[in-house]
Structure 1
Amino acid sequence: MSAASLLRSSLVWDNHGCLPLRPLDETFLPQLELYRTSGVDVAMINIGSGGHGIEQHVRMLAQFRRWIATHNENYLLIERVEDIDEARRTGRLAIGFDIEGANAIDDQISLIALYYDLGVRWMLMAYNRNNRVGGGCQDDDQGLTAFGRETLDEMARVGMLACCSHTGYRTARDVLDYSANPVIFSHSNPRAQHDHPRNVPDDLITMCAAKGGVICLSGIGIFLGNNDNSTETYFRHMDHVVQLVGADNVGLGLDYVFDMEDLNSYITKMKGNFPPGLGYELGGGIRCVSPAQIEPLIELQLKAGYTEDEIRNILGKNMLRIAHKVWKQ
């Protein structure tokens, strides 16, 4: 089967995308069409990260939910796993939300259920820096806290996936040890391919897979190395994980940034949180793998001898399996 045919006939799930986080600005939302034209069926969209507080997250949820509801001829908000099949059947993009860092709940665990009810399907534990839950990958990580264990318990209760992208090594190990559910790395790369603090060592990748989790590969050039967003380099990172733990524990989390000027502004504002020499100084010059590169990626997978079932699993079935296991209806 050709790459184009595989793309058309497979469930394609991109587990992390970044739209501008400006609650009164809808100008970029029509660019979600890039997912549909690239063959993506499910897109998880970030609603907040880092130092954003509760108000910012709720405001972005309100904005995104309203826009999706008023454009439901092309988009469908995910409430149940079955909505993914419904979106595919009707030619729409299924959209869910994610949160980058538990600052979104501050000290109020009851907010987790509210976020889930509003469409958030995964939350990562820490965004680069330490918080009440645990440590970030660019901080002095002291491990998962007692509050962090309570947070994981509540996430499991409501059906929200725990994510360890951006999370410190010790906290990630603690989460993988403690969590009753599979844990994901929603948009991360193997450190064995590029030594960057945002990338994940092989032992954590192996632990994640043993837990039944999925490692979704990021397409950010500074994490791939040398600000390289070529399909070949992205595949090299993906293939490392496949060879390490198998195709049943790998997915897509491109982390595609729709507004690079917005990214540059954010990095400039948060420059104290980003150590020098790691590529963040490029700001809006950081390159990203585009959803449009998924078909060329499939071509490389076929050339490397991946089976059709392995490719379909990586494209979306692995994340669908976890959704069936963890999400609550």
Structure 2
Amino acid sequence: MEQVDVIKRMIAASPQETTLVTSPEGIETEFKRGRVSSLLGVEGGHSLASSMGVVRALYDLGVRYITLTHKCHTPWAECSESGSSEANAKGLTPFGQEIIHELNRLGIMIDLSHSSSQTVLDVLSASKAPVIFSHSASRALCDIERNVPDDILSEMTTNGGIVMVSFYNDFLTCSPTATIKDVIDHINHIRSKAGIDHVGLGAGYDGINRTPAGLEDVSKYPELFAELLKDPSWTIKDLKKLAGLNLLRVFSRVQEIRNMLEDDTPSEEIIPIHDIDARWPCRYKFASLEDAPRT
């Protein structure tokens, strides 16, 4: 909540340049006004504290996408990080499936970057709405668990979701160095497996310390599009989809699903106590307020 407060204050400090948005229509409106649209997201389901009430409170604060896991398992979802302590289950637990339904009901985009392959498959089975990978790359080109394998890329066509390509060198080439060509290779591979409607850009400049030569910061985006335009298979319409229209489509569909589920009652599911006590890196140390330390 403190971080949400900081972001809102940052946005308020530059009202001529940026504004908080909570809908795809808001993004389009601000684009026409020449302002940057700021979306609130939560990277890591551990921030939900395994509480449906927290999920709903975050929505009320303006959060519109949630990354299910980060570099640790949650009690209800397995992350992709190798070397993590044992997860409660491969993929989603039953409580995790209930979380997915609540995110669908609220209209919050589900972000599967950092999730294990089994978690991804479980979410694709459980979610009524399309999903996003906000900053991932192709596992076929860089074979690490963090990246998306071809079979899941193909599932994006059915789900309607989007894979947004990370610019982190380690995800592009599995090494500390990369170039703009490597980014294009990942974009083209994802396009070939999922289709032009299911690929986007998820650079991650706010959280990476190694960037491709030629794409060192946001000022280099025109260079990327100029390179893509040299390929006759890319049209201006395609580039618009890559730049943002695909994400807007997903966001709009997530809200359509929310409207379809508006008669569903808010979930009151409580996570099983044995899941809270299970071994996981971000686990709770206590099961009730009575057991909590007073410091």
Give me the whole-angstrom Cα distance separating, in 2, the residues matched to 1:101 and 1:62. Answer: 18
Tell me, yes or no, if structure 1 residue 91 matches structure 2 residue 91.
no
RMSD: 1.8
Q: Unaligned stretches of 5+ in structure 2?
A: 260-295
Q: Which amino acid aligns with 1:252?
A: L
- 1:184–1:208 Cα contact (<8 Å) kept: no
Give me the whole-angstrom Cα distance separating, in 2, the residues matched to 1:130 and 1:100. Answer: 13
* Equivalent runs, 1:272-287 vs 2, <5 Å: 284=209, 286-287=210-211
Tell me, yes or no, if structure 1 residue 296 matches structure 2 residue 223.
yes
- 1:128–1:168 Cα contact (<8 Å) kept: no
User: Which residue number corresponds to residue 202 of structure 2?
Assistant: 253
Give me the whole-angstrom Cα distance separating, in 1, the residues matched to 2:104 and 2:125. Answer: 14
User: Which residue number corresponds to residue 320 of structure 1?
Assistant: 248
User: Which residue number corresponds to residue 311 of structure 1?
Assistant: 239
- 1:187–1:255 Cα contact (<8 Å) kept: yes
- 1:134–1:143 Cα contact (<8 Å) kept: yes
Give me the whole-angstrom Cα distance separating, in 2, the residues matched to 1:102 and 1:76. Answer: 25
Give me the whole-angstrom Cα distance separating, in 1, the residues matched to 2:2 and 2:124. Answer: 31
User: Which residue number corresponds to residue 141 of structure 2?
Assistant: 193
* Equivalent runs, 1:41-120 vs 2, <5 Å: 58-120=1-63
**TM-score when normalising by structure 1:** 0.71
- 1:164–1:172 Cα contact (<8 Å) kept: yes
Give me the whole-angstrom Cα distance separating, in 2, the residues matched to 1:79 and 1:143. Answer: 29
**1:181 aligned residue (92, 116, 129):** 129
% identical aligned pairs? 29
Higher strand fraction (1 or 2): 1
Q: Unaligned stretches of 5+ in structure 1?
A: 1-57, 261-283
**Length, aligned pairs only:** 247
Give me the whole-angstrom Cα distance separating, in 2, the residues matched to 1:227 and 1:251. Answer: 23
How far 1:62 sits from its partner (Å)? 0.4
Higher-RCO chain (CA-CA 8 Å, sequence separation at least 6): 1
Tell me, yes or no, if structure 1 residue 232 matches structure 2 residue 181.
yes
- 1:102–1:133 Cα contact (<8 Å) kept: no
